[in-house]
Amino acid sequence: MSDTLVYLYAVGRAALRTVVPAGLTGIAGAPVRALVADRLAAVVSSVDALGFGAEALRRNLDDLSWLAATARTHHSVVDAVWRREPVAPLRLGTVYVGDDNVRAMLHEREAAFLALLSRIRGRQEWGVKAFTATDPDVEPDEEGDGAELRPGAAYLQRKREVRDRTSRLRAEVHDAVEDLHRVLATSAQQSRRYVLQDPRLSGHPPNLVLNAAYLVEQATSSAFTSAVDGWRSPYLQVELTGPWAPYSFATLEES
Amino acid sequence: MTLARRDDDLYLIDLLDRLLAGGVVITGDVTISLAGVDLVQISLRALISSVSRLVEP
């Protein structure tokens, strides 16, 4: 038993042992169980060394369909437990050798996990994305009013007008994004902005201008979601996802 | 509270944002792998290779 690999989904208080739904399955259909160590419990399932040994894991993470399936399973387990008891989700791909090592880790990190769990108790994560209605980097193809100028001068003037218009638009979009984020962040306990990566890498559409997560008190979450739904801006289209388990705010503060 | 049904791919991207850049990272010698090591890099490589597979004729 000692070298069975154990995949960790989340960590919560020991009470979560009673809320892991019977019949809940994890990666490769393995039964999900709670591993208790004093005041904490980890939500785990056993995994195959062929898929999750250090080397195999590294290889598999390069396989998008494997990654997608693992991410979906990881999330479905986290979500099933989180809706019943606050838990701190773990990063995808956290694997230990044997139950004993998981328990040892829970002992070692007990204080940090308890602090994290009280920070996220009663709070939910909401995701907010904003897209520009038009892509500010695309130069509008319009006629300037330089028709009476010589062709070279008219060309330059048109270029200048387009450039000015583009940078004005970009500044207005920027202000609208900062406005939205400021309003949402003040009604949240914590916020986090994700980097807007190259759309070819991240898969995000090119006109994504805000990708942020907000940690919101459950009691005020309907006010938060109405604020998002009711947000009107000529420059932005706003999209809400959630509620999520607090993935974006699950960080241990090591003492 | 209503949650708009979303395109599956967009949902996957939201999920990967969270699972690869969020979640507790436990450092220390008991974890056999992936103590946060370049996980985002790895996923980006996966995405790039899948994108180029789509683009290539």
Q: pLDDT at position A119, please?
A: 95
Asked if the Cβ–Cβ distance from A93 to B34 is below 8 Å, we say yes
Overall average pLDDT of the A225-254 stretch? 92
Q: pLDDT at position B33, please?
A: 45
Q: What is the pTM of this model?
A: 0.82
What is the residue-averaged pLDDT of chain A?
88
Asked if the Cβ–Cβ distance from A91 to B20 is below 8 Å, we say yes
In chain B, residues with a C-beta closer than 8 Å to the C-beta of A72 are: 12, 15
Q: At B22, which amino acid appears?
A: G
Option in B19, B31, B49 nearest A247 (CB): B19
Long-range contacts of B2-9 (CB under 8 A, 24+ apart): B3/A241, B3/A242, B4/A239, B4/A240, B6/A241, B9/A203
Rounded CA-CA distance A136/A220 in Å is 34
pLDDT at position A55 over 70:
yes
The 10 Å CB-count burial string (b at 16+, else e) for A112-127 is: bbeebbebbeebbbbb
Whole domain around residue B38: which residue ranges?
Answer: 8-55
Structure confidence by residue, pLDDT tens digits, A201-238: 556 666 889 999 999 999 999 999 999 999 999 999 99
Option in A203, A242, A251 nearest B24 (CB): A251
- In a domain, residue B47? The reply is yes
- In a domain, residue B14? The reply is yes
Structure confidence by residue, pLDDT tens digits, B1-42: 334 444 666 678 888 888 888 888 886 544 444 444 444 455
Q: pLDDT at position A247, please?
A: 96
Is A41 within 8 Å of B19 (Cβ atoms)? Answer: no
Q: pLDDT at position B43, please?
A: 56
φ, ψ at A149 (rounded to 5°): -80, 165
- In a domain, residue B39? The reply is yes
Site from B2, B12, B33, B49 to mutate, A interface, most A CB atoms within 10 angstroms: B33
C-alpha distance from A22 to closest chain B C-alpha (Å): 24
- Non-local CB neighbours of B3 within 8 Å, separated by 6+ positions: A241, A242
Rounded CA-CA distance B22/A92 in Å is 9
- In a domain, residue B2? The reply is no
A218 SS3 class: helix
Chain centroid to CA A246:
9
Q: pLDDT at position A67, please?
A: 85
Picking from A132, A246, A127, the residue whose alpha carbon sits closest to that of residue A184 is A127
Chain centroid to CA A52:
23
- Token duo for residue A85: 């008891």
- In a domain, residue B3? The reply is no
- In a domain, residue B1? The reply is no
pLDDT at position A123 over 90:
yes
pLDDT at position A241 over 90:
yes
Chain B residue whose CA is closest to A253: B24
- In a domain, residue B49? The reply is yes
Q: pLDDT at position A15, please?
A: 94
Overall average pLDDT of the A124-152 stretch? 70
Is the minimum CB–CB distance between B23 and chain A shorter than 8 Å? yes
Confidence of residue A61 (pLDDT cuts 50, 70, 90): confident
- Token duo for residue B15: 């999920």
Complex prediction ipTM = 0.80
Instruction: Give the number of domains in chain B.
Output: 1
Identify which has the larger pLDDT, A143 or A236: A236
